[in-house]
Amino acid sequence: MICQQIIRRFEEIEYPIKHMSKTAKLEIDGKSYSLPIIEGTEGECAVDIANLRNESGYITLDDGYGNTGSCQSGITFIDGEKGILRYRGVPIEELAETSTFIETAYLIIYGKLPTHAELRQFSGLLTENENLHEDMKYHFAGFPATAHPMAILSSMINASSCFYPGLMAGRNPARFDIQAARLISQVRTIAAFAHRKSRGLPIIYPKPTYKYTANFLHMMFSDVYQDYELKPEVVKALDLIFLLHADHEQNCSTATVRMVASSQANLFACAAAGVCALWGPLHGGANQAVIEMLQQIHDAGDNGSRFIAAAKDKNSGRRLMGFGHRVYKNYDPRAKIIKRACDQLLNSLHINDPLLDIAKHLEEAALRDPYFLERKLYPNVDFYSGIIMRAIGLPLEMFTVIFAIGRMPGWIANYKETMADPKGRISRPRQIYTGQTLNHYVPIDQRG
């Protein structure tokens, strides 16, 4: 029985942004343009260029959007210079210490920490929606065993929505809670089934008595004849990994989700697009790339020094994976938390992973090296997360899938915020054309 549907609107808690009396002056061709300045609740300021082209005929250009805000959002705040990360104002350090992934998911999506009753209801919705439609197994059967689980994840999220035509139709806020719960719950089931399929193992169904992360480990590692032994420290470590990945402002994949949501595509289509954007090695794929890098260093008998030299050499095509960040010009607060959790988990499991020693050596060496210091390159969330996932026994190709499971609440919250925007404009960036000027068709016989 689906819990009584909570009629919710897409309302977002209004955050006071200030339209400053200050304006920016822009001089072009002897004409002066006055552009309004807006200030967010944490004092970030932006020049509002919404009317720039109408007034001046000019647009702005910002490769990689390093200086361009695509939206106003009340979900996550990052201060990259100070290494601050807060979900709905709550510091990541407090959530990591005292919360769980599902409680934090509720905070990110609904804008407040849940009461006991709200958390019970949310958890109940997740449990009610944890199974895939049984016919989905025919889709799994169609994938080769070598299929990358990120490819399976993105396609199966869309495939899953085909079984709920009523739920997905139109922009009905009342359906949002079920859509969100179904997506958060099923992304975990799809991921585990994809892993089982890749190993030629029978799928293990979720247990309604298990909490979110324990259920995922159960579906990943149990046998038909014997349940996986859930070690509390392992469940806690993976739950922390999910929590730390839950949202992160307008990163590449979240910005992709908002872009797709702006066309009023359904939530599952937006999430599937987010999975594809996350897959790249410069983004969510970095956690897999870090382990491959550490393994390569280990196998070469290098203590990391040779690799660091290569990472500094532009011609090497190498980067110190897990280092650097577009926003953090300080230590990623998530990396600090994960590094500590790494030590705790490996000690409690009595694991001595040489790759962790290499990672620590790389960090020490890089943080003494002017190349990295001058460019403000510090460990990011991906630098140590793979060590924990290895210790848990997760296969390398599942690392970015773990990131996607963790990021799902952030994508859902950004989808909700986009849909709640009363202006609701489709995102459509401009460009500067640099191609062939006016040209004409030439019949094929006259072409050189």
Q: Rule CB under 6 A: which residues touch ligand SDX?
A: 64, 248, 251, 282-283, 286, 311, 319-327, 375, 377, 380-382
Residue 50 CB, nearest approach to ligand SDX (Å): 24
One DSSP character per residue, 308-338 reads: HHHHH-GGGT---TTB--SS-SS--HHHHHH
Residue 312 CB, nearest approach to ligand SDX (Å): 7
Residue 328 CB, nearest approach to ligand SDX (Å): 7
The separation between CA 365 and the C-alpha centre of its own chain, rounded to angstroms, equals 29
Question: Whose Cβ is closer to ligand SDX: residue 381's or residue 392's?
Answer: 381
Question: Whose Cβ is closer to ligand SDX: residue 86's or residue 325's?
Answer: 325
Burial class (CB in 10 A: 0-12, 13-18, 19+), 47: middle
Residue 187 near residue 180, CB atoms below 8 Å: no
Residue 286 CB, nearest approach to ligand SDX (Å): 3
One DSSP character per residue, 109-167 reads: HHSS---HHHHHHHHHHHHHT-SPPTTHHHHHHTS-TT--HHHHHHHHHHHHHTT-HHH
Q: Which helix (H) or strand (E) holds 418?
A: helix 399-419
Question: Whose Cβ is closer to ligand SDX: residue 22's or residue 375's?
Answer: 375
How far is Cα 286 from Cα 279, in angstroms, rounded to an integer? 9
Counting Cα atoms < 13 Å in the Cβ hemisphere of 145 gives 6
Q: Which of 218, 247, 325, 332 is catalytic?
A: 325
Question: Whose Cβ is closer to ligand SDX: residue 206's or residue 274's?
Answer: 274
Q: Which of 424, 438, 435 is nearest to 171 (CA)?
A: 424
Question: Whose Cβ is closer to ligand SDX: residue 251's or residue 414's?
Answer: 251
Residue 26 bridge partners (DSSP): 33
Ranges of H-type helices in 15-100: 52-56, 92-98
Residue 381 CB, nearest approach to ligand SDX (Å): 5
Could you tell me the two tokens for 23? 């304006």
Question: Whose Cβ is closer to ligand SDX: residue 99's or residue 215's?
Answer: 99
Residue 364 CB, nearest approach to ligand SDX (Å): 16
Residue 407 CB, nearest approach to ligand SDX (Å): 7
Could you tell me the two tokens for 94? 């407090």
Handedness of CA 160, 247, 360, 233 (dihedral sign): negative
Q: Which helix (H) or strand (E) holds 240?
A: helix 232-244
Residue 38, helix vs strand vs coil? strand
* 79 catalytic per annotation: no
Q: Which of 373, 369, 362, 388 is nearest to 293 (CA)?
A: 362
Residue 263 CB, nearest approach to ligand SDX (Å): 22
Question: Whose Cβ is closer to ligand SDX: residue 118's or residue 292's?
Answer: 292
Cα diameter, the chain: 79
Question: Whose Cβ is closer to ligand SDX: residue 64's or residue 370's?
Answer: 64
Q: Which of 382, 421, 440, 445 is catalytic?
A: 382
Question: Whose Cβ is closer to ligand SDX: residue 23's or residue 70's?
Answer: 70
CA distances from 40 to 44, 58, 74, 330, 427 (A): 5, 26, 9, 22, 21
Q: Which of 278, 318, 323 is nearest to 296 (CA)?
A: 318
Rg (CA), the chain: 24
How far is Cα 373 from Cα 312, in angstroms, rounded to an integer? 12
Hey, what amino acid is at 154?
A: S
* 382 catalytic per annotation: yes
Residue facing ligand SDX at closest CB distance: 324
Residue 142 CB, nearest approach to ligand SDX (Å): 30
Question: Which residues lie closer than 8 Å to 335 by C-beta, 6 or more apart?
Answer: 378, 379, 380, 381, 383, 384
* Residues labelled catalytic: 325, 382
